[in-house]
Structure 1
Amino acid sequence: MALIGYHASHEQLPPSALLEAVQDAEAAGFDGAMCSDHLAPWGVRQGESGYAWSWLGAALARTSFSFGVVTAPGQRYHPVITAQAIATLEEMFPGRFWACLGSGEAMNEHVTGDPWPEKEFRDVRLDESHAVIARLLEGREVDVDGTVRVHRARVWSRPAKPPPLFAAAVAPHTAAHVAAWADGLVTVAQDRPALDSLVHRYREAGGRGPLSLQVHVCLADDDASALAIVRDQWRQAAVTGPRLWDLEQPEDFDAAAEGVDDATLKKSVLIATEAGDLAEQIAHRAAAGFDRLYLHHVGKDQSAFIERAERELLPALRGLL
């Protein structure tokens, strides 16, 4: 049976409230959790963006299940620093942590003042950053002079066994590219044909390990309420393709998603009033080949969603998987 996890949205809740939410999620029966490592929220009305690495230490200490983080080494983070952070968490909480490496988004990386490179360069930088991190986690000394530069680096406090290093991919060609080194793949829910294509390209290229799907959902009392929540908190999901990675400020995302229609919102967030209906939508996408699902309720009221997930959604979903 697939793991059903909870996505902790740093962009929407203060770190203290998010810590309470993830504890509630474990008590409600979720199997694990993940978060994204952001410096800024996607939109002004989301209004938060706590530091994921500090929060992860507290969350792992306050719960007993597994956690993962999606992070982008190479610009805002030197890969040596990312390796040290990964090693420290896994050493303290062995077998409970994973990291997913991605090529990054301008909204988080532009703050260094360095130019935001083209995707081809970012992909090469990700490959090289992964190689640095993996070698450091093995206890090796690393020297590199490429898209990233490393001088005689070592990570001294390491876990007995390195945690898995997954890769983030949204497009099939990216999934095929990272298959050479990824211990697994993490992506976000799209329509079923897009997911089928992505999974096929990853496996065809030799991709191994678990496939994880982050699913944005809104379970509300009626359609109007659900759409109002999505429009207020997650309308930036309507911004897709290369433009998504190149915008710099929350205000830019708000402007890009201004006037988005309801049909487009429903393509980016799974909306339902009945838990059984939502479970069917999620299970349909999971059937593309995903081993792990991470559910993200896009509203700020996480307690109501977690309570309803415990009563209705999780049992319904487990009955379908």
Structure 2
Amino acid sequence: MTAIGYHASHEQFSPSELLEFVELAEENGFDHALASDHFHPWSERQGESGFVWSWLGSAMERTSMTFGTVNAPGYRYHPAIIAQAAATLRESYPERFWLSIGSGQLLNEGITGTDWPVKDERNARLEESAGIMRRLWSGKEVTHHGRISVERAQLYSRPETSPPLIGAALSEETARWLGQCEWTDGMITIATPAREALENRVGAFRDGSPEGEVYLKVQLSYAEDEEAALEGAYDQWRTNCVPGPVTQELRTPAEYDELGDEISREQVAENVRVSADLDEHREWLAADRSMGADRLLLHNVNRGQRQFIEAFGEDVLPALSLE
């Protein structure tokens, strides 16, 4: 049975609000949560960006759900520190924390003044970071000199089992690479209305890792009527619909907003599943499940979180469990 989770968007809501939302999500039948790890929001309109590693302890104490976050080790975070943070959460809350890692965005990682490398180099740094974390979780003393430097590091507080390590992919090329990487337990990618592109990414990963788990972060916008659903998505998420690699050159929310002003509502609807029809959302999610997704993490990109959680908890999640 595909598990259903709630996405806690730290770019859009304060940490205290998100604690209320994950409690409400659990009350309404969500089993899992994904939390974003950002230093900046995607837009000035979103206006938040809490520190996820502080928040996760509070959220896991207040609920019984599993939690994960998508992190970019090797820039603003040293991988040894992320390994320690993940180990502490999983030891404190056994089997309930998983970690996804990706190559990151300049928007977040650029705050340290680092030179931002090309994608192939970022992937190489990501793989090196993953190896360091794996070794630390196994209890080994790690010394490593490469793209990342580690000197005689050893984790003394470790969980009984290491956190699952899930690679993040936005393209078919990255998905295929992840499927060939020994360090991955699975892949997380974005589910949008572009069904063929999504199937290609999942297929590319499965080609190399047929047993690896697939997590889908589902971008949707639900509201009481179609206009409100589209306007809510346009207001909050159009900066995430800027096409192409140009976003890798943007350092600030204001720069995203400048490009976002060129995005139309039609382009938003091509990137977000916009609908006021709960049956339509259920059908989309059922199709995701039929693709073999192990976990669906639902991100309602507009600001109506309570309405979304309660409506999906009452009408969508129960229907999916019966299919």
Same fold per TM (> 0.5)? yes
1:294 aligns with 2:280: no
Q: Which residue pairs with 2:174 in the alignment?
A: 174
Structure 1 CA distance for aligned equivalents of residues 64 and 177 of structure 2: 34
Q: Which residue pairs with 1:242 in the alignment?
A: 245
1:202-248 superposed Cα distances (whole Å, 9 cap, x missing partner):
12123542100001111112221111101111111211332233321
Classify the secondary structure of the residue corresponding to 1:128: helix
Structure 2 CA distance for aligned equivalents of residues 43 and 313 of structure 1: 30
Q: Which residue pairs with 1:272 in the alignment?
A: 275
1:46 aligns with 2:46: yes
Classify the secondary structure of the residue corresponding to 1:19: helix
Q: Which residue pairs with 2:13 in the alignment?
A: 13
For 2:138, the aligned partner's letter is: E
Unaligned runs of at least 5 residues, structure 2: none
Structure 2 CA distance for aligned equivalents of residues 106 and 208 of structure 1: 32
Q: 1:51 to 1:96 in 2, by over 3 A?
A: same
Structure 1 CA distance for aligned equivalents of residues 291 and 116 of structure 2: 33
Q: Is the 8 A contact 2:37 2:71 kept in 1?
A: yes
| TM-score, normalising length: structure 1 | 0.96
Deviation, structure 1 residue 124: 0.2
Q: Which residue pairs with 1:312 in the alignment?
A: 315
Q: Which residue pairs with 1:184 in the alignment?
A: 186
Structure 1, 301-310 or 128-137: larger mean CA deviation: 301-310
Deviation, structure 1 residue 287: 2.6
Q: Which residue pairs with 1:219 in the alignment?
A: 222
Q: Is the 8 A contact 1:195 1:285 kept in 2?
A: no
1:303 aligns with 2:295: no
Classify the secondary structure of the residue corresponding to 1:13: coil
Deviation, structure 1 residue 268: 1.1
1:209 aligns with 2:212: yes
Structure 2 CA distance for aligned equivalents of residues 306 and 200 of structure 1: 30
Q: Which residue pairs with 1:263 in the alignment?
A: 266
Q: Is the 8 A contact 1:4 1:292 kept in 2?
A: yes
1:2 aligns with 2:2: yes
Structure 2 CA distance for aligned equivalents of residues 231 and 192 of structure 1: 21
Structure 2 CA distance for aligned equivalents of residues 310 and 222 of structure 1: 18
Q: Is the 8 A contact 2:217 2:297 kept in 1?
A: yes
Report percent identity of matched pairs.
45
Structure 2 CA distance for aligned equivalents of residues 242 and 17 of structure 1: 32
Q: Is the 8 A contact 1:68 1:97 kept in 2?
A: yes
Q: Is the 8 A contact 2:186 2:213 kept in 1?
A: yes
Q: Which residue pairs with 2:67 in the alignment?
A: 67
For 2:212, the aligned partner's letter is: G
Deviation, structure 1 residue 105: 0.5
Structure 1 CA distance for aligned equivalents of residues 146 and 75 of structure 2: 13
Structure 2 CA distance for aligned equivalents of residues 198 and 303 of structure 1: 31
Classify the secondary structure of the residue corresponding to 1:234: helix
Q: Which residue pairs with 2:198 in the alignment?
A: 195
Structure 2 CA distance for aligned equivalents of residues 116 and 303 of structure 1: 38
Structure 2 CA distance for aligned equivalents of residues 286 and 239 of structure 1: 27
Deviation, structure 1 residue 305: 1.2
Structure 1 CA distance for aligned equivalents of residues 294 and 130 of structure 2: 23
Structure 2 CA distance for aligned equivalents of residues 108 and 92 of structure 1: 28
For 2:303, the aligned partner's letter is: K
Q: Is the 8 A contact 1:213 1:286 kept in 2?
A: no
Q: Is the 8 A contact 2:206 2:212 kept in 1?
A: no
Unaligned runs of at least 5 residues, structure 1: none
Q: Is the 8 A contact 2:223 2:307 kept in 1?
A: no
Structure 2 CA distance for aligned equivalents of residues 278 and 162 of structure 1: 34
Deviation, structure 1 residue 90: 0.5
Classify the secondary structure of the residue corresponding to 2:151: strand
Q: Which residue pairs with 1:33 in the alignment?
A: 33
Q: 1:96 to 1:85 in 2, by over 3 A?
A: same
Q: 1:207 to 1:248 in 2, by over 3 A?
A: farther
Q: Is the 8 A contact 2:6 2:33 kept in 1?
A: yes
Structure 1 CA distance for aligned equivalents of residues 319 and 263 of structure 2: 31
Q: Which residue pairs with 1:95 in the alignment?
A: 95
